[in-house]
């Protein structure tokens, strides 16, 4: 599959040699101030009175939720709402199965759902009781509107819509459907090499208590353990309230990207379709940088490291080294950590909004 070839966004500031630990919130704040301080202040001022609707468009596991979370961290979470359509549908499923909670949701849907099948049929489809009816987009829109109404008037990142080519036309009028009147809307395209997604999946582990994901190769926790019986290293959850459980792999993740190949190809098709759409502003985020361009474009601490482990006596030794992947053009590349991608998002957004 051909690389989308998004432009490289330069984050390197000539003559500045300061380094930051980008996994530390305090260090990240200093980093954002240095790399995009003036743009952050402009966006903050804008969000004091105005909002926007941004569609996050990228392949599954491309980092949409991470980027919107760090954007909110940089400009103020009180002004920003990340709306995951998948999470909303799953939450609605849980509520509708709970007799003590579903009445309020059904009442809201009676007042706001407009579709070509009855509400009862739509709910049966969501609950999986009907295989003859697909979950209608109109029901999804009603559920999203309920989520946005409950959050108050905030800038919104939409994650997971449109998810099919049939939903593309709905996305063109999403702002009006949600009642955002003349607030700007735009697409945020995320380009991530499939090799990056593949390794993010293959080495992903989650805490069995808090369900926070990490990656044994790319996003380790502070403490790493070793299982002598299985002859394998494992991560230990950092959250003290979890009491140090061993993080475990999700079933099927060992298959990597091939387990979601159909989804990946559909996401790619939707992105390419919307990139050709006229009249809607666009932001382009690039996760990878060719190895040869790194010295001129980014700082080395902005590159995603890879970790491997060795046993030294009874202690686990962590070895950090550059992580290289081969992109769709066959070019040796480094994957960027999320913060520099968010710097690109903030800078492009500031210009797009005319700040």
For 272, the token pair is 């390419």
What is the rounded CA–CA span in Å between residue 263 and residue 163? Answer: 9
Residue 157 corresponds to which tokens in the numbers above?
A: 């990142």
125 in a structural domain? yes
- pLDDT score recorded for residue 334: 93
Q: Are 171 and 162 in contact (CB under 8 A)?
A: yes
Instruction: Give the domain range for residue 191.
Output: 25-352
**What per-residue confidence (pLDDT) applies to 129?**
66
Q: How many domains does the chain have?
A: 1
pLDDT of residue 60: 86
**With contact defined as beta carbons under 8 Å apart, do 302 and 340 qualify?**
yes
CA distance 32 to 345: 12
Answer yes or no: is 283 within a domain.
yes
Domain assignment of residue 52, yes or no: yes
Mean per-residue pLDDT of the chain = 89
- Looking at residue 179, its pLDDT comes to 76
- Kindly state whether residue 1 falls inside one of the protein's structural domains: no
Say how far apart CA 113 and CA 202 lie, in whole Å.
40
Calpha distance 321→239 (Å, rounded): 26
Write the CATH number for 153. Answer: 3.40.50.300
pTM comes to: 0.88
What does the pLDDT read at residue 211?
A: 80
- Reference 263, options 86, 2, 6; nearest CA is 86
Residue 140: inside a domain = yes
In a domain, 16, yes or no: no
Residues 6+ apart with CB under 8 A from 16: 34
The whole-number pLDDT of residue 252 equals 83
Assess if residue 30 is contained within a domain: yes
Q: Using 50 as the pLDDT threshold, list the residues of the chain that sit under it.
A: 1-2
Q: Give per-residue pLDDT as tens, 25-76.
A: 899 999 999 999 999 999 999 999 899 999 999 988 888 988 998 999 999 9
Position 132 scores a pLDDT of 55
Q: Does residue 289 lie in a domain region?
A: yes
Distance CA 150, CA 191 (A): 32
pLDDT at residue 1, rounded to an integer: 44
């Amino acid at each position: 599959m051909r690389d989308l070839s998004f432009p490289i966004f330069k984050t390197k500031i000539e003559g500045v040699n300061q380094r930051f630990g980008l996994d530390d919130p305090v260090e990240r704040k200093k980093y954002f101030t240095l790399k995009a301080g003036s743009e952050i202040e402009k966006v903050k001022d804008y969000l004091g009175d105005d909002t926007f609707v941004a569609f996050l468009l990228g392949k599954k596991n491309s980092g949409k939720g991470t980027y919107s979370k760090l954007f909110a961290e940089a400009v103020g979470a009180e002004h920003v709402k990340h709306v995951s359509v998948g999470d909303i549908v799953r939450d609605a499923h849980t509520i509708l199965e709970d007799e003590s909670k579903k009445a309020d949701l059904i009442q809201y849907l009676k007042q706001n759902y407009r579709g070509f099948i009855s509400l009862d049929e739509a709910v049966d489809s969501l609950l999986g009781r009907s295989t003859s009816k697909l979950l209608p987009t109109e029901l999804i829109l009603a559920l999203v509107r309920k989520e946005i109404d409950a959050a108050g008037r905030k800038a919104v990142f939409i994650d997971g819509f449109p998810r099919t080519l049939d939903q593309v036309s709905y996305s063109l009028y999403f702002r009006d459907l949600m009642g955002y009147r003349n607030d700007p809307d735009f697409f945020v395209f995320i380009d991530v090499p499939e090799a990056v997604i593949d390794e993010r999946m293959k080495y992903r582990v989650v805490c069995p208590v808090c369900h926070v994901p990490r990656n044994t190769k790319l996003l380790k926790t502070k403490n790493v353990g070793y299982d002598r019986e299985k002859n394998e290293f494992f991560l230990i959850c950092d959250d003290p309230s979890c009491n140090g459980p061993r993080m475990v792999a999700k079933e099927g993740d060992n298959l990597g990207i091939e387990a979601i190949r159909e989804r990946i190809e559909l996401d790619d098709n939707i992105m390419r379709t919307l990139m050709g759409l006229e009249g809607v502003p666009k932001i382009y985020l690039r996760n990878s940088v060719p190895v040869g361009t790194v010295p001129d474009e980014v700082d080395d601490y902005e590159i995603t490291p890879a970790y491997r482990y060795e046993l030294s006596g009874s202690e686990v030794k962590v070895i950090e080294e550059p992580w290289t992947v081969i992109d769709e053009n066959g070019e040796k590349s480094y994957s960027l950590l999320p913060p520099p991608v968010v710097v690109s998002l903030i800078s492009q957004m500031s210009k797009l909004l005319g700040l």
